[in-house]
A = this chain, B = another copy of it.
Amino acid sequence: MSESDRVAEFTAFRQRLNERILGEDNQVIRRFFALDTQTYRAGVLDVKTKEMLGLVASLVLRCDDCISYHVAECYKAGVARDAFFEVFSVGLVVGGSIVIPHLRRAVDFLDTLESAAADEAPPCADHVAD
């Protein structure tokens, strides 16, 4: 299975199960999901900073799905590759070598996002200022 197929499959699973969970009549869980979304909205801190906070927290707690999610959100919010590696460095030093396998998968996922973006970019994209 290709990497992009794997991502597509995970995204479909994630969406289907979120619907199953939110379709259940359990108010605590529904409210938790709503709160989770609210947490990363812009406040005094902007979305970019909040998503980096979510990423480093996921990294030290070593949850691959959470890491992928926040890598994608950080990427959308404009976090640059070298900034990603600084976030990773904090997670690595705080969390220790036990974080390394998750760091590898995070970098692999970031590479996939960047490749996909490069493929989608128009021929002259490299002429455009970021």
Whether A130 sits at the interface, judged by CB under 8 Å, is no
Contact (A28, B62) CB under 8 Å given A17-B108, A36-B97, A99-B96: no
Q: Does A44 contact B (CB under 8 A)?
A: yes
A103 to B65 Cα, complex, angstroms: 12
A38 is an interface residue with CB less than 8 A from chain B: yes
Of all chain B residues, the one with the shortest Cβ separation from A20 is B107
A18/B104 contact (C-beta < 8 A), A29-B92, A53-B53, A93-B32 known: yes
What is A's interface to B at a CB cutoff of 8 Å? Answer: 13-14, 17-18, 20-21, 24-29, 31-33, 35-36, 38-40, 43-45, 49-50, 52-54, 56-66, 80-83, 85-101, 103-105, 107-108, 111
